[in-house]
Amino acid sequence: MLDIKLIRENPQEIERRLRTRDESISLGPLLKLDEERRKLISQVEQLKAQRNKATERIAQLKREKKESEAQNLIAEMGHIADQIKSLDSTLAQIEQEIQDFLARLPNLPHESVPISPNKGDKKILREFGQKPTFSFPFKNHVELGEQLGLLDLPRAAKIAGSRFPLYRGKGALLEMALISFMFRYQTEKNGYTPIFPPFLGNPESFFAAGQLPKFADQVYFCPEDKLYLNPTAEVLLANLHRDEILDGAQLPLKYCAYTACFRREAGTYGEEEKGLIRMHQFNKVELFKFTKPEESYAELESLVEDAEDILKELNVHYRVALLPTCDLAQQSAKTIDLEVWIPSQNRYYEVSSISNCEDFQARRGNIRFRREKGSKPEYVHTLNGSGLATSRLFVAILENNQQPDGSVLIPKPLQEYVGTDRLEPLH
């Protein structure tokens, strides 16, 4: 959430920056509400000052035995009390409208983010490895999953509907291998504290993380319990220190969590996004940091490198892309994607979005730190990134490592988990 003081001090510049993300944004209504709020506060303060002065006068009149004058003044103060109550009610309504307006505004983009209304205008920062070449007719991951006995999407659809996965046999082992390898790598080699959080969160958690109110239609909700199904562990990890004041000497705090993720993915998607490309349910290892403001962009680069480590270890060809303003999540000030090559799609797909949210989530979740004992609390910066999402990584491993005989080679770090170095066709 943006600071209303920041908007008030430089409304034209803030609106200009916000409109690089969404041209329809106008701060005029917000500024009008803020001006009305401040006028009401001034009126209420004046009336309360008048009431306090009258209270002293009433006490004096009673001491002087001037009961009639005291009663007249008491009656007059009754009218003032009614005015204060009415103004307080109006003020509370306006303050709620201001908070609702602020809650729907996106974060300010960092100055390094490309400005564009076109999602294709991402900036490619670097690549790792080469696209594979095939001397034989290659198969897509759905075909490979069926022939190798790794996937059973028809039974998944029977159980839950379309866009849900069902891994079986070596496919289940490979999925678990990815989760276990990535989780252990980030906690043991990159120094993240392991977390196994709840898979559901309350409305306060989803608001603090930036999912509510704007993206309420994209998450699964259990109305009787007032709990939301986790769309990404970012939501859960962002709330680990909600309403806390952290010790600045302990920052940055680095957390790693595994969760299943659930997304409605409302919209229409083409036939090319069948199989595991776009799912309602998928698995993900998430990385999250709480940092000092002046260190957050160095920590962003470090977080990107930590996520890249996984792809390098698995020897998967990928590229690193800086997203333009139009493609940033609401809470993000800057996002860098890791994209793997999917041969059957002839394109790259994102397997990790790594973002610096600056103090956007910290303000919503009241997460602060003290630089030293007794110093004024400041808002932390929060950063998040997939380390990684498994479904498209699963696809990339199958398609990029397929062999002429229909088998698929397993990356070395996963072999001990799967129990083999090669997946063979069933027949």
Q: Which residues are catalytic?
A: 263, 278, 350, 353, 392
> Which residues, including other chains, have CB under 8 Å from residue 320's CB and lie 6 or more apart?
124, 125, 126, 127, 304, 308, 336, 337, 338, 339
Residue 135 DSSP code: S
Burial class for 260, CB neighbours closer than 10 Å (0-12, 13-18, 19+): middle
Q: What backbone torsions phi and psi does residue 174 show, to the nearest 5 degrees?
A: -65, -40
Residue 189, classed as helix, strand or coil, is coil
User: Quick check: 340 and 318 in contact, CB under 8 A?
Assistant: yes
Rounded (10°) CA dihedral 68, 74, 79, 82: -160
Cis omega (within 30 of 0) for bond into 231: no
The token duo for 308 is 């890249």
Length of the chain: 427
Let me know: does 358 contact 285? Beta carbons within 8 Å: no
Q: How many CB atoms lie within 10 A of CB 188?
A: 10
The full DSSP string for 161-184 is -TT---B-THHHHHHHHHHHHHHH
* Strands (DSSP E) found in 179-317: 193-195, 200-201, 221-222, 227-229, 245-247, 253-262, 281-291
Q: Tokens 């699964």 map to which residue? A: 220
- Cα distances (angstroms) measured from residue 123 to each of 112, 115, 163, 308, 326: 11, 11, 30, 17, 13
